[in-house]
């Protein structure tokens, strides 16, 4: 059973009605595709893919450059749509959606040929042997995406998938079908051949059908719960998968932090995208040495944030994107307050605005018995914990099932790197938050329950290819020494060889 906000879906007509969560006005409608629709699309993708894979990197890159040009020409229209569909400020749509995509398009269009170049080498022990590793498209790949960055997350994966020579089937979130369709429209306008990128709108049932279809690999970004369901389904048919899941990202503020930068970073990291970022600051640990001054400054800055509807008032923080998120955020804050936490600012829904608005909230006196410290809140809530020292901060930061990103704030970069090495997260940023998702060349991945596999960078690109290894002799020989017939002499010779190679350190001489 797949549930979502009742006002979004008209199940009877199998149609999504996308609404603006800030104003509750309708943004558009899109069909909920069935398993039969999905299977037809996959068949179309499979027949179109070989011709696409046969193009050179340069030829495929031309489509990316064209799509990038169109994106930059149509920035306002695209940002306006994103802003209306998820309730975020236009500046966030520009910074968090358009700019990163332009960067990813440019990077993978230029670099894919180099990043996927064949690797050839002579073997170290088997000196008469050479190997070549080459990288080939996986085939037809499925991308299932969330609603919080409805344009940049899926488009980044689409770009990598296409540049690697795959046909792509994209299932956008049921909360953001119009942004998903816009991605298809952009590539169509760039002249992409028919069937190479298909956008399959729908809900969880459409996503589940895609996972069960004849695709070759699935790339999922979303919640841990759905990620586990997808992993189970993929495992049943041994289909490879990449999972980019939730986070409970810790910010560690050391006693010697660059004070004002840390204050600004904490407030932006906690409240940008209304806190609905997998890598937003979800927990903050501050050294007691600067705690009081730091918390006061964070609260002052948070109070200055303008919450509102884009286009109607100047705003820094938009609305939450759906009713489910508003419910989770409200529950987490109420649970924390009931268990002794104190809201220094914020703490409740804004009822003077029509949509799903919640006050930017700073909580203190929080502890690990509270949901806000254990579960992903994904909203405008910043719980702050005062710690004795860095060692305690690291211990507390690691007390989580999640491990996506973390940040360490100190003027001493060397010390920052030492702390970063001990924090259990895919990425730890020193004196910054979150932004590396927008940098094409850096890998993005989670440890623990935050994910499996990588996106972005050459490591992410390589998730979209299948390796092929070919091995051959440099000089032809009638036989290999380890082939038949065996003898006592052969046994002694190999014993000696093992010592020469691996014990006496003579490997470099042969």
419 versus 454: smaller Cβ distance to ligand NAD: 454
Residue in 85, 97, 111, 244 annotated catalytic: 244
Using rule CB under 6 A, residue 154 touches ligand NAD: no
Using rule CB under 6 A, residue 39 touches ligand NAD: no
Instruction: Return the SS3 of 168.
Output: strand
Q: Which of 131, 229, 398, 422 binds ligand NAD (CB under 6 A)?
A: 229
Residue 76, phi then psi, degrees to nearest 5: -60, -45
Q: Tell me which residues in 71-90 interact with ligand NAD (CB under 6 A).
A: none
Candidate segments 30-38, 51-59, 95-103, 199-207, binder of ligand NAD by CB under 6 A: 199-207
Q: How far apart are CA 384 and CA 287, in angstroms?
A: 11
The number of angstroms, rounded, from the C-alpha of 494 to the middle of its chain's C-alpha atoms is 49
Residue 294, phi then psi, degrees to nearest 5: -65, -50
Task: Give the total of residues touching ligand NAD (CB under 6 A).
Answer: 32
Using rule CB under 6 A, residue 332 touches ligand NAD: no
Q: Is 274 a catalytic residue?
A: no
Using rule CB under 6 A, residue 246 touches ligand NAD: yes
Candidate segments 162-170, 222-230, 258-266, 291-299, binder of ligand NAD by CB under 6 A: 222-230
- We find the least distance from the C-beta atom of residue 405 to ligand NAD, in angstroms, to be 9
Q: Is 392 a catalytic residue?
A: no
User: What is each CA distance from 178 to 30, 167, 200, 312, 396, in whole angstroms?
Assistant: 7, 21, 11, 22, 40
Q: Are 455 and 156 in contact (CB under 8 A)?
A: yes
Q: How far apart are CA 473 and CA 412, in angstroms?
A: 53
- We find the least distance from the C-beta atom of residue 226 to ligand NAD, in angstroms, to be 3
Q: How far apart are CA 470 and CA 121, in angstroms?
A: 11
- For the stretch 77-81, contacts whose Cβ atoms lie closer than 8 Å and that sit 24 or more positions apart, written own/partner, are 78/151, 78/182, 78/186, 81/27, 81/178, 81/179, 81/182
Contacts of 392 (CB under 8 A, 6+ apart): 285
Dihedral (CA of 12, 13, 14, 19) sign: negative
Q: Tell me which residues in 448-467 interact with ligand NAD (CB under 6 A).
A: 451
Residue in 97, 278, 375, 390 annotated catalytic: 278
Using rule CB under 6 A, residue 282 touches ligand NAD: no
Using rule CB under 6 A, residue 372 touches ligand NAD: no
> Phi-psi bin for 273: left (phi > 0), alpha (psi -120 to 50), beta?
left
297 versus 397: smaller Cβ distance to ligand NAD: 397
Q: Tell me, residue by residue from 391 to 430, as one string, x for binding to ligand NAD by CB under 6 A and - for no binding.
A: -------------x--------------------------
Residue nearest to ligand NAD (CB): 207
Q: How far apart are CA 206 and CA 171, in angstroms?
A: 8
Q: Which residues carry out catalysis?
A: 244, 278
Q: Which residues bind ligand NAD (CB under 6 A)?
A: 2, 144-148, 153, 171, 173-174, 203-204, 207-208, 211, 221-223, 226, 229-230, 244-247, 278, 376, 378, 404, 444, 446, 451
């Amino acid at each position: 059973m797949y549930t979502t906000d009742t006002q979004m879906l008209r199940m009877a007509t199998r149609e999504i009605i996308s609404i603006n969560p800030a104003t509750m006005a309708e943004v558009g409608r899109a069909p909920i595709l069935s398993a039969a629709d999905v299977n037809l699309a996959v068949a179309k993708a499979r027949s179109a893919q070989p011709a696409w894979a046969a193009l050179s990197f340069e030829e495929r890159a031309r489509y990316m450059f064209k799509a990038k040009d169109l994106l930059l020409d149509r920035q306002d229209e695209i940002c306006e749509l994103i802003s209306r569909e998820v309730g975020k400020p236009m500046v966030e749509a520009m910074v968090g959606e358009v700019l990163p995509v332009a960067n990813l398009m440019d990077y993978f269009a230029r670099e894919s040929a180099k990043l996927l170049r064949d690797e050839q080498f002579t073997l170290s022990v088997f000196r008469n042997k050479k190997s070549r590793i080459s990288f080939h498209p996986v085939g037809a790949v499925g991308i299932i995406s969330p609603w919080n960055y409805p344009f940049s997350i899926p488009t980044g994966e689409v770009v990598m998938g296409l540049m690697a020579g795959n046909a792509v089937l994209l299932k956008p979130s049921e909360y953001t079908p119009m942004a998903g369709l816009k991605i298809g429209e952009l590539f169509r306008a760039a002249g992409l051949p028919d069937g190479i990128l298909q956008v399959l709108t729908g809900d969880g049932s459409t996503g589940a059908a895609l996972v069960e279809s004849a695709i070759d690999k699935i790339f999922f970004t979303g919640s841990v719960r759905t990620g586990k369901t997808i992993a189970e389904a993929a495992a049943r048919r041994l289909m490879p998968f990449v999972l980019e899941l939730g986070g409970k990202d810790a910010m560690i503020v050391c006693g010697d932090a660059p004070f004002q930068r840390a204050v600004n970073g904490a407030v932006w990291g906690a409240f940008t995208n209304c806190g609905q970022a997998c890598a937003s600051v979800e927990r903050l640990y501050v050294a007691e040495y600067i705690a009081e001054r730091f918390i006061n400054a964070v609260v002052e800055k948070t109070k200055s944030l303008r919450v509102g509807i884009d286009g109607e008032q100047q705003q820094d923080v938009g609305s939450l994107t759906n009713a489910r998120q508003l419910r989770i955020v409200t529950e987490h804050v109420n649970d924390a307050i009931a268990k002794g936490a104190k809201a220094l600012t914020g703490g409740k829904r804004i009822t003077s605005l029509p949509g799903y608005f919640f006050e930017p909230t700073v909580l203190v006196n929080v502890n690990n018995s509270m949901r806000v410290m254990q579960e992903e809140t994904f909203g405008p809530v910043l719980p702050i914990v005062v710690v004795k020292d860095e060692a305690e901060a690291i211990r507390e930061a690691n007390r989580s099932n999640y491990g996506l990103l973390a940040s360490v704030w100190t003027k001493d970069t060397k010390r920052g790197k030492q702390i970063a090495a001990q924090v259990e997260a895919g990425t730890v940023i020193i004196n910054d938050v979150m932004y590396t998702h927008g940098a094409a060349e850096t890998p993005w991945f989670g440890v623990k329950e935050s994910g499996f596999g990588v996106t972005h960078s050459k490591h992410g690109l390589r998730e979209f290819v299948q390796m092929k290894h070919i091995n051959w002799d440099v000089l032809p020989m009638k036989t290999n020494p380890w082939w038949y017939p065996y003898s006592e002499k052969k046994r002694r010779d190999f014993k000696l060889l093992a010592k020469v190679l691996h014990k006496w350190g003579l490997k470099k001489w042969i």
